[in-house]
């Protein structure tokens, strides 16, 4: 009798909100990783998966950025347009770009270098693990989630980032009174986000009416223009972290 084949090793118990694509990077992007990553990218201890964070391996923000300052993190920073603009215009605040796509992180570093920013750091990692393990509790003043992957097919909805498991992780990382800002161009995802966060005891609405006003710090990106060109309405949401018991 043959032994049963071993089950494939499972790196995570839950599906992640991304599919990690690989592709050839440009010479400039390769240079970013070789020359700029030591300045911009936070080196983290990994668990089994390439984009994981080893539990209990949190950073000290004041040491990482070299000063005590308000801290803002963006989940899914993409090419870095929003966060580089913010870092260059809000020099009294520190910023963390959370992304899994190396080419996007490389572009962010290149633009950050051109803008001369010193208050921006990047981490190549799965966002929920950053919120749970890398960031100390109550370390964020703001958390941004702009245009996360909508996973618009019903069978893939389970991959969406903003689901019932998300608010406790976001609330852990945010200070009391800290702001959670979200935007999407998919109406059904916007409604799911609102339902999930309205039901979360850690958060309270920071907007009247059906949707929040556009956040001034959210610059218009090529991604947003593409959605608008297809007739999709942009919807914003803003929530405040409720005081801890």
Residues making up the binding site: 74, 99, 126, 149, 153, 185, 221-224
- Could you tell me which residues come within 8 angstroms of residue 102 by beta carbon, excluding any fewer than 6 positions away? 25, 29, 33, 124
Per residue, the 3-state secondary structure of 113-173, as one string, reads HHHCCCCEEEEECCHHHHHHHHCCCCCEEEEEEECCCCCCCHHHHHHCCCCCCHHHHHHHH
Taking a C-beta distance cutoff of 8 angstroms, is the pair 146, 218 a contact?
yes
Please identify every residue annotated as catalytic: 149
CA 84 – CA 77 distance, rounded (Å): 10
Point out the annotated binding site for substrate. 153, 185, 221-224
Query: Hey, how many other C-beta atoms are within 10 angstroms of the C-beta on 122?
Result: 25
Per DSSP, 49 falls in state S
Length of the chain: 245
- Could you tell me which residues come within 8 angstroms of residue 241 by beta carbon, excluding any fewer than 6 positions away? 170, 171, 174, 175, 176, 177, 178, 179, 180, 202, 203
Q: Per-residue DSSP letters for 2-42? A: PPPPPPPPPS-SS--S------PPPHHHHHIIIIIHHHHBP
Which helix or strand (DSSP H or E) is residue 176 part of?
strand 174-184
Point out the annotated binding site for S-adenosyl-L-methionine. 74, 99, 126, 149
């Amino acid at each position: 009798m043959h032994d049963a084949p071993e089950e494939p090793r499972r790196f995570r118990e839950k599906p992640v909100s991304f599919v990690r694509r690989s592709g050839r990077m440009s010479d400039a992007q390769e240079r970013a990783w070789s020359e700029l990553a030591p300045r911009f990218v936070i080196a983290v201890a990994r668990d089994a998966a390439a984009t994981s964070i080893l539990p209990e391996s949190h950073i000290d923000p004041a040491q990482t950025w070299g000063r005590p300052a308000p801290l803002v993190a963006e989940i899914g920073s993409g090419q870095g347009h929003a966060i580089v603009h913010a870092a260059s215009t809000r020099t009294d605040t520190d910023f963390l770009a959370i992304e899994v796509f190396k080419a996007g992180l490389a572009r962010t570093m290149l633009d950050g270098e051109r803008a001369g920013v010193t208050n921006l750091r990047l981490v190549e990692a799965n966002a929920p693990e950053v919120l749970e393990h890398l960031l100390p509790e109550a370390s964020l003043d703001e958390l941004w989630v702009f245009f996360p992957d909508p996973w618009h097919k019903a069978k893939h909805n389970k991959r969406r980032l903003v689901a019932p498991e998300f608010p406790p992780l976001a609330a852990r990382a945010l200070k009391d009174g800290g702001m959670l800002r979200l935007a999407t161009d998919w109406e059904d995802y916007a409604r799911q986000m609102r339902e999930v966060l309205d039901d979360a005891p850690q958060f309270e609405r920071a907007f009247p009416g059906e949707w929040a006003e556009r956040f001034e710090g959210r610059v218009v990106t090529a991604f947003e223009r593409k959605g608008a060109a297809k007739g999709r309405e942009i919807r914003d949401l803003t929530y405040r972290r409720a005081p801890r018991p």
